[in-house]
């Protein structure tokens, strides 16, 4: 049903509270079209709200109009898809002979109202709508049908559900036509111009009868173009001017109208707007997939980055946890030369003059790591190392090692895993052996 101005003749319409077929009570008018009026109505037995499409009284005797109306009911009843409005009932009122069609009542706004309010729309929002309709049209085409009137007025966008999904639905199959599965020819009479000029495909505007599913793809691309730019590819002050532009001029490049449109989206739309049906996407579903592809690639590209970021954060936290609370003082020694006799008498640690000791040196000398042990309270670290010159055979000049930083003897403080080496002066040959660790 094409929604038009409310001032377009309300004569012959049903009044609020009237019953249709003794089971649908009229609540209010939802929209008016060339062949009928759509009401919000309530089923008297189930209390279910429906969209009741009633054929105008004067058209009930027009065989062609009635045939088209009944075809719409049959087409919608045969198809099932979340983005297609479901047919619930149809019939004829016994008293006045009015034909009616009861459909799912969709809570939402027409895409036309959304475009008029805030076009151009964002790429993400426009792609969501077009992809839904592309999927719905795919089901229509699989059934051997062509909608032939895809436009913003025939698309309703529902409010977001509990998952944040705003579903778009395709309505009004009043001029849908069956397509011979063995041919691209429709069963309509040649020369019959049906549809809305601004959204027609070139082959539909020529009224040659060579209409197939690719015509709906072109119309959907026009809708996408308008969502993204706020205008249609071919415009004019009258129907003849629109048709003349459509049949003689290619669609202006969408990026020339809105420069911020990404290249993959622009390419997908312009391919679907090709004047030649053979140059368009293989199917309307392929068109929807081409629009969605850059969004899917962006999400796939972000996923590993998010994963790496999480890993880096965990490693950072681990490094902070392993970092010591405060720096440990290094123990260094300051050497002063003494004679060997004094060293033996005082039983002090001695080292050769060429060696300076700290914690790093001790760790390099240790043969293997050992478990942490606590130092005895009354004992300080004693380290004695020796080195002799092989050619002279004489012991080196001993030196006294005085600690610059005292080593804590508090039993509560852990000590190094290394135990001090002890230099024995009883045998000079011991100077030639590596220090031992106890």
Instruction: Answer yes or no: are the C-beta atoms of 55 and 35 closer than 8 Å.
Output: yes
C-beta atoms surrounding 260 within 10 Å: 9
Edge-first strand listing for the sheet containing 99-104? 19-20, 24-32, 36-43, 49-55, 99-104, 87-92
Give the CA distances from residue 16 to residues 58, 127, 270, in Å, rounded to whole numbers and listed in that order.
Answer: 20, 39, 47
Give one DSSP letter per residue of 73-142, joined into a string: HHHHHH---TTBPPEEEEEE-TTT--EEEEEEPP-SEEHHHHHHHHPSPPHHHHHHHHHHHHHHHHHHHH
Q: What angle do CA 89, 157, 257 make, to 5 degrees?
A: 135
Query: 48 vs 156, 167, 172, CA distance in Å?
Result: 20, 21, 21
Q: Which residues lie across from 336 on neighbouring strands?
A: 400
Cα–Cα distance measured from residue 22 to residue 16, given in angstroms and rounded to the nearest whole number: 14
Terminal Cα distance for the chain, rounded: 97
Active site residue 149: yes
Nearest to 396 by CA among 362, 348, 365, 428: 428
Contact indicator for 148, 195 with CB cutoff of 8 Å: yes
The beta-strand segments (E) located in 272-425 are 333-337, 350-351, 399-403
Whose CA is closest to 88, among 144, 96, 80, 294? 80
Closest Cα to residue 419, out of 400, 395, 405, 436?
A: 436
Q: Strand 99-104 vs strand 49-55: parallel, antiparallel, or unpaired?
A: antiparallel
Choose the catalytic residue: 128, 135, 149, 212. Answer: 149
User: Which residues are tagged catalytic?
Assistant: 149
């Amino acid at each position: 049903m094409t929604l038009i101005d409310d001032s377009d003749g309300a004569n012959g319409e049903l009044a609020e509270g009237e019953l249709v077929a003794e089971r649908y009570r009229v609540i209010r008018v939802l929209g008016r079209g060339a062949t009928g009026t759509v009401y919000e109505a309530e089923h008297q037995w189930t209390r279910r709200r429906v969209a009741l499409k009633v054929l105008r009284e004067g058209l009930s005797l027009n065989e062609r109009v009635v045939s088209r109306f009944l075809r719409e009911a049959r087409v919608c009843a045969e198809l099932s898809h979340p983005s297609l409005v479901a047919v619930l009932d149809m019939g004829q009122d016994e008293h006045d002979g009015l034909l009616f069609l009861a459909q799912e009542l969709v809570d939402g706004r027409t895409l036309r109202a959304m475009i008029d309010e805030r076009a151009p729309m964002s790429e993400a929002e426009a792609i969501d709508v077009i992809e839904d309709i592309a999927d719905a049209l795919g089901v229509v085409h699989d059934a051997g049908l062509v909608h032939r009137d895809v436009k913003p007025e025939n698309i309703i966008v529902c409010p977001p559900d509990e998952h944040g999904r705003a579903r778009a639905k395709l309505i009004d199959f009043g001029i849908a036509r069956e397509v011979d599965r063995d041919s691209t020819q429709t069963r309509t009479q040649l020369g019959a111009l049906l549809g809305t000029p601004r959204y027609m495909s070139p082959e539909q505007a020529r009224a040659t009868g060579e209409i197939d599913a690719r015509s709906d793809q072109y119309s959907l691309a026009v809708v996408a173009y308008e969502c993204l730019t706020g205008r249609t590819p071919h415009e004019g002050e009258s129907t003849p001017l629109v048709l003349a532009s459509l049949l003689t001029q290619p669609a202006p490049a969408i990026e020339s109208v809105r420069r911020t449109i990404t290249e993959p989206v622009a390419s997908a739309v312009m391919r679907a707007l090709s004047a030649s049906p053979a140059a368009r996407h293989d199917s309307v579903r392929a068109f929807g997939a081409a629009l969605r592809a850059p969004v899917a690639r962006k999400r796939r590209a972000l996923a590993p980055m998010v994963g790496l970021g999480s890993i880096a954060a965990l490693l950072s936290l681990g490094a902070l946890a392993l970092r010591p609370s405060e720096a440990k003082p290094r123990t260094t020694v300051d050497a002063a030369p003494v004679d060997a006799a004094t060293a033996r008498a005082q039983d002090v640690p001695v080292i050769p003059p060429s060696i300076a000791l700290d914690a790093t040196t001790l760790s390099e000398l240790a043969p293997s790591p050992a478990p942490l042990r606590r130092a005895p309270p009354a004992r300080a670290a004693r380290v004695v190392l020796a080195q002799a010159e092989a050619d002279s055979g004489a012991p080196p000049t001993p030196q006294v090692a005085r600690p610059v930083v005292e080593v804590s003897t508090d039993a509560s403080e852990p000590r190094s895993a290394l135990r001090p080496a002890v230099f024995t002066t009883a045998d000079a040959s011991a100077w030639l052996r590596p220090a031992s660790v106890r």
